[in-house]
Structures are given as structure tokens and as C-alpha cells.
Amino acid sequence: MELLKDKKPISHLFVITGLLLLFSTLIFGTIGAFQYVFPGLYRESFSFEKIRPLHVSSAVFWILITACGSVLHYLIKKRNGLWSNKLAQWQWFLFTIAVVVILITYVLGIFGGREYWEFHPYLAIPIIIAWILFLINVIKTIKDFRKQPVYIWMWLTGTVFFLFTYLESYLWLIPYFRSNIVHDMTIQWKSYGSMVGCWNMLIYGCSIYLMDKISGSEKYSYSGISFALYFLGLFNLMFNWGHHIYTLPAPKYIQYVSYGVSMTELLLLGRIIYYWKSSVNTARKLYHILSYRFLLAADLWIFLTLLLAIAMSIPAINIYTHGTHITVAHTMGATIGINTFLLLAFVCNIFKIHKPKTEKRITAGLYITLVALPIFWISLIIAGVLKSNWQMHLSNEVPFSAMMQSIHPFFVVFLISGIILTIGFFVIIGNLLAAYFMKTQEN
């Protein structure tokens, strides 16, 4: 709690906690990949049903806590302080306690067992309270809602809808909502699909704020096009989640709604291609060079991920990708290539990293991840394609274990590239934290 006492903005605490969670994400991800390659590794003591939630929950909380920290930080900048620092401190405290307890319960084998939020439902309570504190702080700090830039709208809607979708994901506790597996899964994935859209609202909002800073112009964040794209994003957040459950025997209209809505994402894709070149030309902003590089890296991955996502939103293609490692490629591609890179851009900016030596090392780390990530991604996609072929044509003759054996070489590539990716991120995290604490001492 030392950090709470001095004059540093509270957002720093969120970011440091986030970076530690990114570290644990990588450690547990690597152990999980080892278990793919060496079947039965730690089967008795630390098997995959513990490792997977340790990895995935660390990842989710890295994203959530750092996104909240970034929003708070930029609100402080924009409004010369928060409505209440106390509230933000409590939010951080509740989040951190909850996450620590969650990770410990996984190690002990205590689960609630719902995907992504695999902890006991009781542990959702501090998270919900923390989120309500966050919501109050965001609303009170913004205060005046007239003529606001688009990122303020994004932070507000992201925060409000997150609370809704998070509560929705616990409806299964009411017997009515869990008594039919198909209905239960429909509501579950409806809430998850929208929830991811909500944290993306927070993160994309921050990146628009940061791009304003880098380019030195606020024109974009007040423009009609930015609001049009924001509403398009919100529309997709609300209605395009159906691709998670196309293959379930749920009512057909869910398929049609989601398929139709997803196709509007093509507009986003078109815009990215169109603006790609002009964004590259602003490379002159040397002062923000690190953040700028992470933003560019994310831009590339937004393009790749959107391409895959749009393909997967077409039901006739989805039946080939669903239930295979293509889904994992998509999820990790998005959470690493988009979310993690963008969040790291914010961290570089929040920590004000400008020392040439640190800049150089972090850039080296980024390049390592940029080489490893495509290999990591493609190895999962190939494993997924082969599994898909088995699912569609061979599952009656070839046993599951033989199929897994046949795609083993791609898991080896997945593991090796995953280790390199981990090393790249370690270089980045290590240098960020070292530079930060060095600066703190100098001051």
C-alpha cells in the first residue's frame, strides 16, 4: 500500500497489478502448452483443469484491470483529477483481493466452473461491487455530458453494459435459467459476447484518446465518422454474439440476426484498410514512439482478427471452425494482438517511458512478439483445420486420441512459438517495471 500514500495517480497501481497478471498469464499459458505437448504432465497435482483457468482468468483480469486503470488515468488527465480517489482505491483493493483469492482457489481445486469466470460465484461479489464503484467514479468525474468526444461515450457505455452483461452471466444461478442446457448456453454466450465488446469499448476509447494526443489533433474524436463507427460497434456488441452458438439447436432467428449484424463489421474492415496508409505516415511523432509502435502492431492484428472473425460469423464457415483450435487462435489472437498490444501502448504512455535505452529494449521485446505471434496463431489454425476435418468426416472411424496424436507436431510449434512470445513479453514487462521503479526512486 506504499504506493497509495505518495502523490502518484491511483491509475499506476492498476497498471502495475495488471502487468503482474500478464506475467502470470504467460507462465500458466506456457505450462498449459507443455501439457498439450507432454500429455499427462502434472496430471495428479496441477492438471489442465487448474492451469487453464489460472491462465484464462489471469488474462481476463490483466485486460480488465489495466483497461480500468487506463480509463481512470486518462480521466484524471482530462478532468484534472477524479471525483473520488478513495473510490478508485477501494475499487483497486476489491479487484486485487478478489483476483488473489480466485487464483488461490483454482490451485486448491475450488471452481464455479463456468467458462472464463471459473471461480466460485461468491467471488463475483467483490468484482461486482468494484465495478459499481468504477461506474460511479466515471459518471461523477465526467459530470457534464454535453458535447463530449467519442471516447467519453465509449467509456460510459462500456462501463454500464459491462455491469449488465456480467450480472447476466450469473443468471444460471436461478434454476429457470439453467434447466435447459441449450437455453443456458445461449444466455451464457450472449452475455460473454457482449462483455468482450464492453471491455473493447473501454480499450478502443483509450486508444482514440491516445491517438489524439499523438497526432496533436482532437478532430477525429468529435467527428461524425467516429460516432458512426462507435454506434456500429455498439450495435455489434449487442447483437452479434450468436456466432458462438450457431451449431446449437437454438431458434433459427438467432442465427439470422447475428449473421446479418456481423456482416456490418465489413464496414469496419474497409475503414481499416483505407486508413492504414495514412496512419503509417504519422510516424513523425517520435516523442510517443513506443506507444506508437504498439498501436501500429495492434492495427495489424485488428485487421487479421477481424478477417478471421468475419469468416467465423458466417454460419456455413463456422461449422468448420467451431469446437476447434481455430477458436483458440481467434481468442488469443484478439486478446494478445489487439488488447494486449493496445494496453501496452497505454502503459508506455502512462509510465512516460522516454529513456533511449529502455525504449530500445522494449522495442526489441515487441519485435520478438511480432515474430512469434503469427507462428503461434498459424500453428493453432492448422491444428484447428485438421481437427475440423476429423470432426466433419472421420470422427466415426478415428478415435479422438489418434486425431490429437496426428496434430501433435503443430502443438510442438505452438509451444515453441509460445515460449518465444512469452520471452518477448517478459522483456517488455521487465523493462517497463524496472524503468518505472527506477524513476520513482530518482524522484
Partner 1 sequence: MSDRVKVMTLIVLAVSFLCYTLFLYKENYSSNAEYGTMADKGKRLWQEKNCNACHQIYGLGGYLGPDLTNVYSNRSEAYIKHFLQNGTNIMPAFHLTEQQMNEMLAYFKSIDSSGNASPAKLKPNYDGTIER
387 binds ligand HEM (CB under 6 A): no
Residue among 9 and 424 whose Cβ is closer to ligand HEM: 424
- 8: left (phi > 0), else alpha (psi -120 to 50), else beta? beta
194 binds ligand HEM (CB under 6 A): no
User: Min. distance of Cβ 287 from ligand HEM in angstroms?
Assistant: 27
Of 21, 75, 156, 336, the one binding ligand HEM by CB under 6 A:
336
Name 145's Cβ contacts closer than 8 Å, sequence gap at least 6. none
Residue among 263 and 398 whose Cβ is closer to ligand HEC: 398
409 binds partner 1 (CB under 8 A): no
Site for partner 1 in 140-179 (CB under 8 A): 146-147, 153, 157, 168, 171, 175-179
Name 291's Cβ contacts closer than 8 Å, sequence gap at least 6. 210, 214, 345, 346, 348, 349
Site for partner 1 in 256-275 (CB under 8 A): 256-257, 259
Residue 112 binding result from ligand HEM, ligand HEC, partner 1, none, given CB thresholds of 5 to 8 Å by partner type: partner 1
With b meaning 16 or more CB within 10 Å and e meaning fewer, what string describes 25-38? bbbbbbbbbbbbbe
Of 96, 340, 349, 431, the one binding ligand HEM by CB under 6 A:
340
Q: Which of these segments, 210-218, 250-258, 266-274, 287-295, binds partner 1 (CB under 8 A)? A: 250-258
User: Min. distance of Cβ 400 from ligand HEC in angstroms?
Assistant: 5
Residue among 141 and 379 whose Cβ is closer to ligand HEM: 379
Q: Distance between CA 427 and CA 437 in Å, rounded?
A: 16
Tell me the three cell numbers of residue 106: 483454482
User: Min. distance of Cβ 60 from ligand HEM in angstroms?
Assistant: 7
Could you tell me if 144 and 138 are in contact, meaning their C-beta atoms sit under 8 angstroms apart? no
Q: Distance between CA 398 and CA 404 in Å, rounded?
A: 10
Pattern 38-57, binding to ligand HEC, x per CB under 6 A? ---------xxx--------
55 binds ligand HEM (CB under 6 A): yes
Residue among 132 and 419 whose Cβ is closer to ligand HEM: 419
Q: Which of helix, strand or coil describes residue 112?
A: coil
Site for ligand HEC in 385-414 (CB under 6 A): 400-401
322 binds ligand HEM (CB under 6 A): no
Residue among 4 and 181 whose Cβ is closer to partner 1: 181
User: Min. distance of Cβ 42 from partner 1 in angstroms?
Assistant: 10
Could you tell me if 34 and 415 are in contact, meaning their C-beta atoms sit under 8 angstroms apart? yes
Of 89, 226, 327, 406, the one binding ligand HEM by CB under 6 A:
327
Name 87's Cβ contacts closer than 8 Å, sequence gap at least 6. 133, 136, 137
Tell me the three cell numbers of residue 336: 494478445
Of 13, 21, 33, 428, the one binding ligand HEM by CB under 6 A:
33
Residue 59 binding result from ligand HEM, ligand HEC, partner 1, none, given CB thresholds of 5 to 8 Å by partner type: ligand HEM
User: Min. distance of Cβ 94 from ligand HEM in angstroms?
Assistant: 22
Q: Distance between CA 370 and CA 379 in Å, rounded?
A: 15
Name 155's Cβ contacts closer than 8 Å, sequence gap at least 6. 71, 75, 138, 201, 202, 205
Q: Distance between CA 258 and CA 123 in Å, rounded?
A: 32
Helix (H) or strand (E) holding 84: none
Residue among 81 and 109 whose Cβ is closer to ligand HEC: 109
Could you tell me if 403 and 394 are in contact, meaning their C-beta atoms sit under 8 angstroms apart? yes
115 binds ligand HEC (CB under 6 A): no
Place of cell 446449437: 248
With b meaning 16 or more CB within 10 Å and e meaning fewer, what string describes 275-300? eeeeeeeeeeeeebbbbbbbbbbbbb
Residue among 111 and 177 whose Cβ is closer to ligand HEC: 111
Of 248, 328, 371, 385, the one binding ligand HEM by CB under 6 A:
328
Q: How many CB atoms lie within 10 A of CB 55?
A: 22
**Interacting residues toward ligand HEC by CB under 6 A:** 47-49, 400-401
